[in-house]
Amino acid sequence: MRIFKAVFFLVLVFAAFSVHAQTSADLKRQREALTQQLEQLNREYQETASNKKTTLKQLNLLKQQINIREQKISNINSEVRNLDNQISESNHSVRNLQSQLDQLKKEYAAMVLFTYRNQSAYNKLMFIFASKDFNQAYKRLKYLQQIGTYRERQANYIQETQTELHVKINELDKNKKEKNNLLVDQEKEKKTLGDEKNAQVQVVADLSKHEGLLKQQQQDIQKKIAKKNKEIAATIRREIEEARRKAEEEARAAARAAAAAAAKAKAENREVATPKVRTINKNSSNSEVLNATPEAAKLSSDFLDNRGSLPWPVANGSVKQGFGIYYDETRIKNESLGWDIKTNAGASVRAVFQGEVSNVKDVSGTYLVVIKHGEYFTAYSNLKSVTVRAGQKVTTKQVIGTVATDSSTGDAIVSFSLYKGTNPVNPKIWLAPN
């Protein structure tokens, strides 16, 4: 029973270490990905800094670097905590294994002593012949045989426990070294973070000298965003009004057909079943209107079923501005109704799901494309060129255009928004992890 408990304990310890190992691997991959992003941002920052002219792009790159570096430091903290747990469990395992090893050695020593005292063949024979009957003699013979087998098994247990103890001690040493390396890396990242924050203060100070120009740039950006959002809202309203008009016409046509059928049945003196007509009126919700047809309802259902797994509108990209309230460089409060995704210059922009193009419009020099997916809408703006037209059916990942590049910053950014009816929703819960 004692050995069974020991084996059961080892199984639990191994399972716990497996979970931690998996978590450690995930954290390490995340840290490596953050390091790659930081290296890319640093290269871009060095390119802009070499121009010897403070620009808004420098400030944006510094903000991104600071944000990602803080994520990396947080990631390292998680790794260190994880290693602390593993070290604590390793210490506990080592103590338990050492205790089990000591106990096994004591039991083995007692067994060896017993065997030594009774090692002569004469003693063994006397032990057997002293039996009361044949049955007891047989049991004593089997007992002597079992002692030999048990001693051999105990020796194997001791060897296995020693091996396991050696493995755990090696794991413990490895985890301690890895923790020390992480702490050194963490200190370097904290120092670099401090340098970047100081550089950010300097860049802001330089930009403040041109505050008027900076505010004008921000105002122009906000005007373009407001114009884009207004056009998206207008497109969705038109789609709702058109869907309502069609649904009302279909309901009236169905009612007329039902009335005609009823009149004909009455004239022929027979009964007719009154069909159930789905009515759309001014009190119907936007969801009811947009899902009035079976095709639209199915498309909405399919879109919803893919929540969390929709492809990104670009093959490669990172979120520069997320969904919700934020403050720009001039400390003006703004609200983002979608994601600004930074990608490669000239990258193809693609539909995240099948649907029908509702609108293609030039907004402040770049194109906006709105696609309808039942009661859901996706909008793609800041496109240099488009390959679709209004009314066209599109499929998932179909290219609809190419991203435009900002001449002043050199950034290629596509703005992506997702709406349920007239309500904007956070793309984060809809798009697949990148």
pLDDT category of residue 18 using cuts at 50, 70 and 90: very low
280-290 per-position pLDDT tens digit = 767 788 888 89
236 versus 173: which is more confidently predicted?
A: 236
CA distance 363 to 383: 10
pLDDT category of residue 127 using cuts at 50, 70 and 90: low
Whether the per-residue pLDDT at 129 is higher than 90: the answer is no
Per DSSP, 419 falls in state E
Instruction: Give 159-194 as a DSSP string.
Output: HHHHHHHHHHHHHHHHHHHHHHHHHHHHHHHHHHHH
Whether the per-residue pLDDT at 229 is higher than 60: the answer is yes
Number of alpha carbons in the 13 Å side-chain half-sphere of residue 106: 6
Once rounded to an integer, what is the mean pLDDT over residues 299-323?
A: 93
Neighbours of 357 (CB within 10 A): 19
pTM of the model: 0.54
Contacts of 411 (CB under 8 A, 6+ apart): 57, 60, 320, 342, 405
Neighbours of 70 (CB within 10 A): 15
47-56 per-position pLDDT tens digit = 666 554 556 6
357-400 per-position pLDDT tens digit = 999 999 888 999 999 999 999 999 999 999 999 999 999 999 99
Q: How far, CA to CA in Å, does 274 sit from each of 254, 260, 261, 262, 271?
A: 11, 11, 9, 8, 9
User: Is the CB of residue 307 less than 8 Å from the CB of residue 353?
Assistant: no
User: Is the CB of residue 319 less than 8 Å from the CB of residue 340?
Assistant: yes
Listed residue (318, 314, 345) closest to 407, CA to CA: 345
Per DSSP, 431 falls in state B
Which residue type occupies 6?
A
pLDDT category of residue 209 using cuts at 50, 70 and 90: low
State the pLDDT at residue 120. 47
pLDDT category of residue 9 using cuts at 50, 70 and 90: very low
246-280 per-position pLDDT tens digit = 877 877 777 777 777 777 666 766 665 555 555 67
What are the percentages of helix, strand and coil residues in the chain, rounded to 5? 60, 15, 20
pLDDT category of residue 404 using cuts at 50, 70 and 90: very high
CA distance 173 to 94: 12
pLDDT category of residue 11 using cuts at 50, 70 and 90: very low
State the pLDDT at residue 372. 95
- H helix or E strand, kind and range, residue 124: helix 121-129
State the pLDDT at residue 182. 78
- What residue spans define the domains of the chain? 2-208
